[in-house]
Amino acid sequence: MLKTKDILDEKNKMLRMVSKEVTFPLSDKDRKTIDLMVEYLTNSQIDERAEKYDLRPGMGMAAIQLGIPKRYLTIVHEVEPGIFDTYVIINPKIVSTSLEKIYVEDGEGCLSINRETVGIVPRYARVTIEGYDVNGNKINIRAREELAIAFQHEIDHLNGILFIDHIDKNNPFKDQDKYRPI
């Protein structure tokens, strides 16, 4: 079982690496890592389990956050209390975006950034992602709102970008009126 301490902190230079494309078939080790990522994300969103195992709540995780510089990510999205949609995507690419941009009103968070941050992170309201499932089958995912933000956040990780990089250091709420809060 993954623990919060297994997730790299923002000070770790590995988080700034651009992750490498994955080849198929996936190794048993990568499949096991994906299972552990999904398990962590699911448990971290169930209050009793998060408390029991001391997990910081998270919705998404990229392999690089575990020190694995490979292009895969997982997202566990709670669609109703206790009901989750799970996404695993290998070699993801954003192939289209909306014109509209949004931001998380309460601020974006990250399992690798364990401190208070302020400022807006402009994100596309809708995105289409192409990639592959764990068996190497091509998949296409359309995401909107919170889920779209999660995909953009995790794909940023694969490119060595943290959400704080999107916040204007001199004016954290710059252009806030141009984007819709969610």
Report the pLDDT value the prediction gives residue 38, as an integer from 0 to 100: 98
Which domains does the chain possess? 4-181 (3.90.45.10)
Report the pLDDT value the prediction gives residue 10, as an integer from 0 to 100: 97
Cα-Cα end-to-end distance for the chain? 32
Report the pLDDT value the prediction gives residue 127, as an integer from 0 to 100: 98
Report the pLDDT value the prediction gives residue 131, as an integer from 0 to 100: 98
pLDDT along the chain (182 residues), means of 10: 95 98 97 98 96 96 98 96 96 98 96 94 98 98 98 98 96 95 96
Strand positions, DSSP E, the chain: 60-62, 72-80, 83-97, 101-103, 123-124, 126-132, 138-144, 180-181
Report the pLDDT value the prediction gives residue 17, as an integer from 0 to 100: 97
Cα 115 to the center of its chain, rounded Å: 17
H/E element holding 157?
A: helix 145-158
Q: What predicted TM-score, i.e. pTM, was given to this entire model?
A: 0.96
- Decide if 154 is catalytic: yes
**How do 101-103 and 180-181 pair as beta strands?**
parallel
Report the pLDDT value the prediction gives residue 146, as an integer from 0 to 100: 97
Q: Say if residue 25 is preceded by a cis peptide, omega within 30 of 0.
A: yes
CA distance 122 to 84: 25
Pair 2, 39: CB distance under 8 Å? yes
Catalytic, out of 48, 100, 105, 154: 154
Instruction: Determine phi and psi for 160, rounding to 5 degrees.
Output: 75, 20
